[in-house]
Amino acid sequence: MDRLVNTVRPYAWGSTTAIPELLGIAPSGEPQAEMWMGAHPGAPSRTERGSLNELIDADPVRELGQRSVDKFGPRLPFLLKVLAAGAPLSLQVHPDLAQARAGHAAEEAAGVPVDAPHRTYKDANHKPELICALTPFDGLCGFRAPAEAADLIAALGVDSLKPYVDLLHAHPEEAALREVLTALLTADPDEMAHTVAEATAAADRLGGAHAPYASLAHHYPSDPGVIAAMLLNRVRLQPGEALYLGAGVPHAYLDGLGVEIMANSDNVLRCGLTPKHIDVPELLRVVRFEPVDPTVLRPEASPAGEEVYDTPIDEFRLSRFVRAEGAAPTDLTSSTPQILLSVAGRPTAGQVALAPGDSVFVPAGERVELSGTGTVFRATVVA
């Protein structure tokens, strides 16, 4: 078992206080957005034996187990994070596996450097993800019914938005959503800046259901993503609740602290609320233009006390243990690799005491018992 030393990414949208409070350290005053746990080459966790990706590269079967290697290849299939949103993240989607492979191959063939600002596909993998709230968590997920979006936008009373309202009343709904998003992202920037300014003033005045979009506009003035965000469902999670995000589903996290797990990928296609590159043609190819009713996931408890968040993919499996004082130890020995993350109390994994924010990597087949009091998230795979 290896105690992990993890990198905290200082993205501008990060909270300055949430991750330091979890770790019990003084804030630095700088944004601290994501703490990465895993073997992603961008910021691999470190151990006393070396970086986690180096350990896995040296002996993948020993670290990951034969079943995981056979199914996913010689790399850790997931990336675990603590995510702390102090400001809205970009409005974005992720590709499915076929799209990621094709897009990555095309950019490789074209000689686009992997670190180029206009590069879309950093790797050839998909990026389904799950966010589980540690605090009340606010986000946007999936298209709402176009008629509902039309009503929300129409209430602003902005003349330049009326054509979008009319389009949203058209049928079929999928075509209406596609046409509106396309029009927003290809509109004249100066005209759109004026429209967003008018919409912001109206949203400030109206408040209520419009308040989140006014807040977005103050973070991203002139950005067409402010209007695009009104096409999406607003979702508010309570601690312990989670949201699964599959390929092609537009989403944005707005505020809150959570545990996030995803397939080991960095492929993001942005569609607003960002100064970064937006590849409109590729985005429109990847987005799934269908209204959805986001499903809030609550964990399913097992007799052993493990609470599992059920998802339809195998690259990751997230669960948690909420251990009361005096609870019997739980055997977590598994034939697949695991990362254990403590978020409350001071439980013990094997002989390693875990304060909030501490994590360990457990190689496949290594015996480990969880004991003590507190809350621990367990990340592994289905193999």
- What ranges in the chain are assigned the alpha helix state H? 18-23, 52-58, 60-64, 66-72, 97-109, 146-154, 162-168, 173-186, 189-206, 211-219, 225-228, 280-286
| Region of 195 on the Ramachandran plot (φ > 0 left; ψ -120 to 50 alpha; else beta) | alpha
236 is catalytic: no
Distances (CA, A) of 34 to 13, 134, 154: 10, 14, 37
Determine the pLDDT at residue 42: 85
Provide the pLDDT for residue 303: 81
Q: What is the pLDDT of residues 160-203, one digit of tens each?
A: 999 999 999 999 999 999 999 999 999 999 999 999 999 999 99
266, pLDDT greater than 90: no
Q: State if pTM tops 0.85.
A: yes
The catalytic position among 75, 144, 270, 378 is: 270
pLDDT digits (tens, 9 = 90+) for 69-91: 999 999 999 999 999 999 999 99
Q: What pLDDT, in 10s, does the model give residues 282-332? A: 999 999 999 999 999 999 988 889 999 999 999 999 999 999 999 999 999
Tally of CA atoms within 13 A in the half-sphere of 259 that contains its CB: 29
**pLDDT of residue 103 exceeding 90:** yes
Q: pLDDT tens digits, residue range 14-51?
A: 999 999 999 999 999 999 999 999 999 889 999 999 99
Cα separation values, 362 from 41, 269, 304, 367, 379, Å: 19, 33, 19, 8, 10
Determine the pLDDT at residue 25: 96
Coil, strand or helix at 373: coil
